[in-house]
Chain A
Amino acid sequence: MIPEDPDLDTRIAALEARVPLAAAPPVPTRTRGSRRSTIAFVAAPILVLAIAATAIAGAAAAGLIAFGAPGVENPGQPLEGANLECMTPPQAAAYLSARGFTNVVWQVETTAKDLSDPAAAAPPIMTTTPPEHGYVVPGSIVDGELLMVVDQRPGATGTGACADMPMP
């Protein structure tokens, strides 16, 4: 039996009721027999906005990682001087594994760097298997996991000691 607490329940309900709303629901309408095409048509503007936002966030995020956000290779960090950015993802994975970094998550960025082309945007892929190619961008340790970014975006140039080398 769970003890009830009406006062607490009322406070929680009131708290939830005060959450501001900024988004309207999608408006899925259809004629008989054409559900998928109609919902796609109606949702298209929303999806384009969402994709554009993802593209901007993704590009900005990768930029921040590449240009100065603290990472495991920064001075005083565990992998200072490792130059992981000069390795292919599998090489970096082997290097990390040999040094005891067994809990590694690879965040693969494939979003188009050209923000005028939001249709090319895609969310990052999170995987524990290193991809075969792409620029390695050393990440940081979060909750015991080492997060490594792999930049596969068209037009990417790499970062750090091996910036501008051909994409691995």
Chain B
Amino acid sequence: MPVVITRRDAGAFEAAVGPLYPALIRRLTLVLGDAAAAEDVAQDAYLRAFESWERFDGADVRAWLYTIALRLAFNEQRRHRRWLAAVRRLEPRPWRDSLDPDLQAALGRLEIRTRTALLLSAVDGYTQREIATMLSVPEGTVASWISRGRAALRLDLDDHDRRRGVPDQPPARERQGIATPGAVSRRGPAPPR
């Protein structure tokens, strides 16, 4: 539900943007794969958002904040990767999910923009048009990213399940809605390791 902003002051900023901060950190952690980098970008985005608060059009504050943060994240990713690679003994702070590690790993293997578009669609429910606006790309590109992202995730997860001998594998085409639209897998998260 979009938050409509009527008061352009710090109190309104905190009220509208503050509650989104935890979700922003979580989103950036998945996008960047590193909690420390996510916190850095989130903080930067938060302060930039505050600075440009008077220019916010009052429509969808989450989309507005995410747009600022994700663009910062894309810029940060390449520099950050070089830096970490150069100082291999300095460990980043990667987050490991114990409940669904296969999904986390599969998400991490997607290209960053594909992963981002998929998250905006799957978790937030943004339309392709909205995501296209947020990421400054054509709508068709977003559609392609989301479609390929879902397919790659499914194939990746199926490979993991096959290696573990998990039964009940509907054909991939079914799960992608190609042969029988609407068919979905009923498997839940992988068991803790």
Contact = CB atoms under 8 A, between A and B. Distances in A.
Interface of A: 2-9, 11-30, 32, 35-36, 38-39, 43, 46, 50, 57, 60-61, 64-65, 69, 105, 107, 124, 126, 139-140, 142-143, 145, 147, 149
Interface stretch (B55-63, B96-104, B159-167): B96-104
Contacts of A107: 82-83, 86
A11 B46 contact: no
Nearest to B23: A16
22 contacts: A3-B150, A4-B177, A4-B182, A5-B175, A7-B187, A8-B150, A8-B154, A9-B123, A11-B100, A21-B26, A26-B50, A28-B10, A28-B46, A29-B11, A38-B10, A57-B87, A60-B87, A64-B90, A124-B83, A142-B82, A147-B82, A149-B86
Interface of A is mostly: mixed
Contact of A23 (B42, B47, B97, B184): B42
Nearest to A17: B26
B70 interface: no
Given A7-B184, A7-B185, 17 more contacts: A4-B177, A7-B186, A8-B122, A8-B184, A12-B123, A14-B189, A15-B100, A18-B97, A22-B35, A24-B21, A29-B11, A39-B50, A57-B87, A65-B87, A105-B82, A126-B83, A143-B81
A85 to B, nearest CB: 16
Contacts of A24: 21
A21 B22 contact: yes
A69 B154 contact: no
B178 to A, nearest CB: 7
B29 to A, nearest CB: 5
B79 A5 contact: no
Contacts of B97: 15, 18-19
Contacts of B95: 19-20
Contact of B35 (A11, A20, A126): A20
Contact of A15 (B14, B81, B107, B181): B107
B39 A43 contact: no
Contacts of B39: 22-23
A124 B87 CA distance: 12
Nearest to B49: A28
Contacts of B82: 105, 107, 126, 142, 145, 147
Nearest to A23: B39
